[in-house]
Structure 1
Amino acid sequence: MGKLNIVGGGAIGSLIAASAQKNGVPYDCYPRDMKTMPSCAHWQNGQTTALKPAKPSPIVLPKSDVLIFPLKVYQLKAALMQWLPYLTQQPTVVLLHNGMGGLEVARDLLGGDYPLLLATTSHGALKVSTSNGFHVKYTGVGATQIGAPNVNKPSPQTLTDLSQIVPQLASAIATLDNALPPVQYQSNILKALWTKLSVNAVINPLTALHNIQNKHIAKPEFEQSRIAICDEFTQVANAYGLDFDALSVHENVLSVAKATGENYSSMHQDVAHGRQTEIDAINGYIVDMATKKGIPVPENTLLVERVKALKL
């Protein structure tokens, strides 16, 4: 089994590290700032797992290793550039982020045939600052969807099929599943990522703009905006060959908002803490893709403008 190498010291990356520690999966963390790297994780059952000391700088990784980037899309290019000289053995790279655009960044820097995996997770984690330093808190049990966008079509339909074509990628998925299960292989990972985008496009900006928890998105006062976002999303996604139904998209958004009702979205937290948001990789991505197809998306365009205005 290869080692997991986790870039950054964010909540999800730290959660993966802590779960790897708990499950006996070898790992190392490479935070941007050593001082803010969480030292332990608190689980929902009250248990605590201490993390091993982080590494200060990249090293050359063997092919059998897995390098995971659980970062914001806008952080990805700089992080990949930093690691590029150390990827001579072509270890598997995993992109794990909200929003879209990371695949394009990775292909530009790594090439279209690099052993790459795209993932999206519904696990919840919160990075907490205390008098004893930083900790990570596991806030919600979820699952991770993962797929191989650079494997030539037709895409392998099952993990067994993938293991026969690109065993390196199948092994990397197994390592991630051992660290923080369940990790579920998706033959059409782009559809899964667009599905996640549809949820983020509604919940993230509305919770950030109105300073509310996810559950409040389901209220009647937001119905008109929810429906408009979902309608525009569906038009754009389907223009790129995907197959979404606006009503089903809206129902899924409501389901997720209720299931994660007590949570504050990542964009809400970014605004609350004065950090850069991921609006460009979420609603901004929808706007960019719509522009290329000549599709008007006034609701998503307005949300991008309003969220960016919050930072002024």
Structure 2
Amino acid sequence: MDLPVNITILGPGAVGSLWACYLQKAGHNVSLWTRNSIPSELPLSLSAKENSSYAFSCNNKESLSQCDLLFITVKAWQVESALLPLLPLLSKDTILLFMHNGMGAIDAIKDQISHHPILQATTTHGALKESSHKVKHTGMGHTVIGPFNSLGNQCQFIQEVLTHSLPSTEWNPEIKVALWKKLAINCAINPLTAIHRCQNGGLSQSDIHQDVVQVCCEVQQVLQQEEVILSQSELLLTVNQVISATAENYSSMNRDCFYQRKTEIDFITGFLLQKAKQHGISASTNQTLYNQIKQLEENFL
């Protein structure tokens, strides 16, 4: 992109902070919006191949009103409460880009945001927030972006903005398929790593891996009804590749349970169970995992 884009990142956690640093490094005008809504400055250091430092304005209403792109990286269950109060401050032309685990969060508010161009994205870049001022790029990955509505379909140039900042980024007009595939992987990895309190690699142990196989079997039946073409063997192969490639990583749900925080289970396994019910599919293994995570949440919330 020749011209800098005005970008506000809503939710500077690990992923939001990672993109904030790379987007600013690429020359874009980046500001942050945090949960306390008090204007401030936030320095962020990025640990990657080269360590670098950046400074961002936070909760600046003028920057928010002038932003071309609102990059929404809060957790799925936070989307509604974080975004709706900001809508009166946004231009109707502001592009809303959602990047979070799970599915269904946008559906709940789509009528209130339908006048905006809406994009969805999923990424495999690894990010770890080491402290409130430090983010570590733990692994290079790939980002897929695509339209949620017809207005979003006119915003393919955002793919260039992202890929010039943090390669590589792909435009996929059928983003729903990519999101379903990511959801399938999350269904297999997130609840099990949280319940067994293990790193992703722990799922390769034979006793736990039986549940991985069963989850994939149930998920694939739902994917088939949703017209997402992915065989059970292909899905299991993909999940096993992710388990192997991220063996030393802790899933986001594992970390949420470790720190006794609310998880995204309702937008991952919960969303799958909703669709399974609609299609008359039994998903008993996923139901059991969902119930176990909800029980864990009740114990610490």
Shared fold (TM-score greater than 0.5)? yes
Instruction: Tell me whether 16-25 or 38-47 shows the greater mean CA deviation.
Output: 38-47
| Counterpart in the other structure of 1:144 | 143
Q: Distance in 1 between matches of 2:201 and 2:266?
A: 24
| Counterpart in the other structure of 2:108 | 105
| Counterpart in the other structure of 1:6 | 9
Q: Distance in 1 between matches of 2:42 and 2:129?
A: 7
Q: CA offsets per residue over residues 247-302 of structure 1, 9 Å max, x none?
A: 11011000011111111000011011111001111111111111112211101100
| Counterpart in the other structure of 1:272 | 258
Equivalent in 83, 91, 94 of residue 80 of structure 1? 83
Q: Distance in 2 between matches of 1:272 and 1:57?
A: 35
Could you say if the C-alpha distance between residues 109 and 34 of structure 1 is closer, same or farther in structure 2, counting changes exceeding 3 Å? closer
Stretches of structure 2 that go unaligned for 5 or more consecutive residues are none
Measured after TM superposition, the shift of residue 106 of structure 1 is 4.1
Measured after TM superposition, the shift of residue 48 of structure 1 is 2.7
Could you say if the C-alpha distance between residues 28 and 48 of structure 1 is closer, same or farther in structure 2, counting changes exceeding 3 Å? same
Q: Distance in 1 between matches of 2:41 and 2:207?
A: 40
Q: Distance in 1 between matches of 2:100 and 2:19?
A: 13
Tell me the number of residue pairs that the alignment of Structure 1 and Structure 2 aligns.
Answer: 294
Q: Distance in 1 between matches of 2:41 and 2:159?
A: 25
Measured after TM superposition, the shift of residue 60 of structure 1 is 5.3
Equivalent in 139, 152, 158 of residue 172 of structure 1? 158
| Counterpart in the other structure of 2:57 | 53
Measured after TM superposition, the shift of residue 223 of structure 1 is 2.4
> Do the aligned partners of 2:120 and 2:147 also contact (CA within 8 Å) in 1?
yes
Could you say if the C-alpha distance between residues 60 and 265 of structure 1 is closer, same or farther in structure 2, counting changes exceeding 3 Å? closer
| Counterpart in the other structure of 2:36 | 33
Q: CA offsets per residue over residues 181-214 of structure 1, 9 Å max, x none?
A: 2211112111100110111111111111111111
> Do the aligned partners of 1:5 and 1:66 also contact (CA within 8 Å) in 2?
yes
Q: Distance in 1 between matches of 2:82 and 2:57?
A: 20
Q: Distance in 1 between matches of 2:293 and 2:147?
A: 32
> Do the aligned partners of 2:42 and 2:58 also contact (CA within 8 Å) in 1?
no
Q: Distance in 1 between matches of 2:15 and 2:61?
A: 20
> Do the aligned partners of 1:231 and 1:246 also contact (CA within 8 Å) in 2?
yes
- Report matched runs for 1:256-295 at 5 Å: 256-295=242-281
Q: TM-score, normalised by structure 1?
A: 0.87
Could you say if the C-alpha distance between residues 60 and 15 of structure 1 is closer, same or farther in structure 2, counting changes exceeding 3 Å? closer
Q: Which amino acid aligns with 2:189?
A: I
Q: CA offsets per residue over residues 26-49 of structure 1, 9 Å max, x none?
A: 211111137999632332325132
Could you say if the C-alpha distance between residues 137 and 292 of structure 1 is closer, same or farther in structure 2, counting changes exceeding 3 Å? same
Q: CA offsets per residue over residues 58-116 of structure 1, 9 Å max, x none?
A: 75534x711110111110011221121123432111010001112313423212x6311
Q: Distance in 2 between matches of 1:283 and 1:146?
A: 22
Runs of 4+ in 1 over 6 A off after TM superposition: 34-38
| Counterpart in the other structure of 2:46 | 42
Instruction: Tell me whether 98-107 or 192-201 shows the greater mean CA deviation.
Output: 98-107
Q: Distance in 2 between matches of 1:261 and 1:60?
A: 39
| Counterpart in the other structure of 1:155 | none
| Counterpart in the other structure of 2:202 | 216
Could you say if the C-alpha distance between residues 53 and 303 of structure 1 is closer, same or farther in structure 2, counting changes exceeding 3 Å? same
> Do the aligned partners of 1:215 and 1:262 also contact (CA within 8 Å) in 2?
yes
- Report matched runs for 1:64-75 at 5 Å: 65-75=68-78
| Counterpart in the other structure of 2:120 | 118
Q: Which amino acid aligns with 1:144?
A: T
Instruction: Tell me whether 169-178 or 49-58 shows the greater mean CA deviation.
Output: 49-58
- Report matched runs for 1:185-196 at 5 Å: 185-196=171-182
- Report matched runs for 1:121-136 at 5 Å: 121-129=123-131, 133-136=132-135
Q: SS of 1:89's equivalent?
A: coil
